Amino acid sequence: MSELEKFKESVKRMVDEKRPLLVEIARYLYENPELGSEEYKAFERLTKVLEEHGFNVERGVYGMPTAFVASFKGKGKGPRVAVLAEYDALPGVGHGCGHDLIAASAVGAGIAASRVMKELSGEVLVVGTPAEEGHGPSAGAKVIMADHGFFDDVDGVVMLHPANSWGVGGQSLGIHQLEMVFKGQTSHAAASPDRGRNALNAATLCYMATHMLRQEARRDANLVIHGIITEGGLASNIIPDRAVCQFGVRSSDEKYLVEMVDKVGRCAEGAAHALGVEVEVTKRKLYSSNKLNIPMIKALWQNYKDLGAPVKDWQESTKAIPMASTDFGDVSQKTPVAGSYIGIAPEGTPGHSRQLADASMTKEGLDAMVVGAKALGMTLVELLARPETLKEAREYFNSH
């Protein structure tokens, strides 16, 4: 048995030993769901456990009260590798995105990897990233960390996400948000409509013009445009002088995404000009698309395979149509990453649902979390024990 294989066996034994603790963590988060930027119970539980296991924990990083960086150093200087924890819940459905299992798996992977660090050079990090669902002042914490340069000094990052099936290396969509505020003139809708300037008509025209953009969309860029009219008037007998549209624009191609955001903005400007009203367009980038890193993906995928997990072929996963957005994409734009999915629920179970939340507490869900913690921990030690993997990952990152 090679030295690396011994390290991986140690990781597997440690995760099995810590299974009761990991299950307790997952259940505690499930029973105490907290919205993003408000995950105080989860934050205290996770940081306390990591400190008890020898990690140095820095709390409240980058001005985010529920963010943390827990570090465990090896025998000497070397690469820094990280596993990410999410722990915010959704309004009304609790942990309908399975973040209770994400947090537990990250803690398990970090603790298991730390047990062999006396024989490895480098550093293992467990990074607490709040508000992935976009709620509160810490919304998209990974973006905030990335913008502050935190991931510039991390050599490789892994994490998992609960789902309906197993896979490594799925893509995600970058997303920008637009708000259009149309301002016109009120007037009596029957007696003097000619004296009004209808902001709602402009908003409606903007909505339809944006809809028409879909026909011309690049199919390889996975464009998604979705929007609503949030304000449209106060009474049916008054010409509305204010109407508001909100749109989300997503794509897997970062440059094309910016181009389409500009086009959606021009739909608002054109509609306002046509109807003789004013419009104020506010654009805000939320999350970047995911930058795939094949060497990282193959390493993580092989560890899942070695554990007997029913993961799809990594090439199938990397070519699948991306369906959602996450702040993990911003991490991938800064350093080599590999994300994975663990199957905890039957095919067809909707994400962001009570059903998925409940699935996280089933034997199948908890077993999947344990397998995921092992695969993540095995990958962390492999990245430190085999510097050539990180070198290949960095070369791939720089060339793509």
Q: What is the pLDDT of residues 99-110, one digit of tens each?
A: 999 999 999 999
pLDDT at res. 1: 76
Q: Which residues of the chain have pLDDT under 50?
A: none
**What domains appear along the chain, each with residue ranges and CATH number?**
3-172+290-399 (3.40.630.10), 174-286 (3.30.70.360)
Per-residue confidence (pLDDT) for residue 74, from 0 to 100? 97
Structure-block tokens of residue 25? 């963590």
Q: How far apart are CA 395 and CA 301, in angstroms?
A: 19
pLDDT for position 353: 96
Q: For the chain, what percent of residues have pLDDT higher than 70?
A: 100
**Backbone torsion region of residue 168, taken as left when φ is above 0, otherwise alpha when ψ lies between -120 and 50, otherwise beta:** beta
Q: State residue 209's pLDDT score.
A: 97
Question: Given this model, what pLDDT does residue 365 score?
Answer: 98
Q: What is the model's pLDDT at position 8?
A: 98
**pLDDT recorded at residue 324:** 87
Q: Kindly report, residue by residue over 145-168, the tens digit of the pLDDT.
A: 999 999 999 999 999 999 999 999
